[in-house]
Amino acid sequence: MTTLDIKRSGRHQAANAPAWARAVLEAFRAEDIRNLVFLPDTVMGRLLALAEADAQHFFRLVSVHREEEAVGILAGLFMGGQRGAMLVQSSGLGNALNALGSLAMAYHIPFPLLVSLRGELGEFNPAQLHMGRAVPGCLDALYIPHVTLRGTDDLETILSGALKTCFTTEGPFGILLSAQLTGWKPEA
């Protein structure tokens, strides 16, 4: 697969949203996951643009200034009776580790934890390598289950299955987006 033509400036267009983004939002809709709590990166930006353009206005986008905040907001949403998802880059997962352990895991707060993976395939930025490749290990260390999406085969099955397990487990569930699925930028 070749590098994806990702816009370097301007907003993402919902009409150009990739198939994986549509599949994620449909899986969320089926599980009544309406709050998308995010700090954007270029990959998530494409999914968020699609969510914003939703004809039924099903999704509420909640932006944070540091990814750790998303864990607290999702805890408040869940205890208040609403489901949500956390959308961050691998770097952002690093910023959220203690809250994931001491709040989400300890207090049994379920939500899908979407992580776009830097530092794996096609990485141009040397500073992204370390937290990027640490993602699976960090989740394992916290006993947070996770799946990695690498292609569009069985996407709907994996997504719906992961979400079902998430709410049965009553904790965060990692859905890791490989650059094999989402593409990568050749340079900044």
Q: Does 168 bind other proteins (CB under 8 A)?
A: no
Q: How many CB atoms lie within 10 A of CB 66?
A: 10
Label each residue of 50-76 as H, E or C. HHHCCCCCCCEEEECCCCHHHHHHHHH
Rounded CA-CA distance 86/89 in Å is 10
Give 132's contacts (C-beta < 8 A, 6+ positions apart).
90, 91, 117, 118, 119, 120, 123
**Cβ nearer to other proteins, comparing 8 with 65:** 65
| Residue in 19, 106, 127, 141 binding other proteins, rule: CB under 8 A | 106
The contact mask relative to other proteins for 16-45 (x = CB under 8 A, - = no) is -------------------x----------
Min. distance of Cβ 90 from other proteins in angstroms? 20
- How many binding residues for other proteins (CB under 8 A)? 31
Min. distance of Cβ 55 from other proteins in angstroms? 22
The contact mask relative to other proteins for 55-84 (x = CB under 8 A, - = no) is -----x-xxxxx-xxxxxxxxxxxxxxx-x
Question: Residues 26, 38: contact at Cβ < 8 Å?
Answer: no
Min. distance of Cβ 111 from other proteins in angstroms? 11
Look-up: residue for tokens 């997962």? 93
Binding site for other proteins (CB under 8 A): 35, 60, 62-66, 68-82, 84, 98-99, 102-103, 106-109
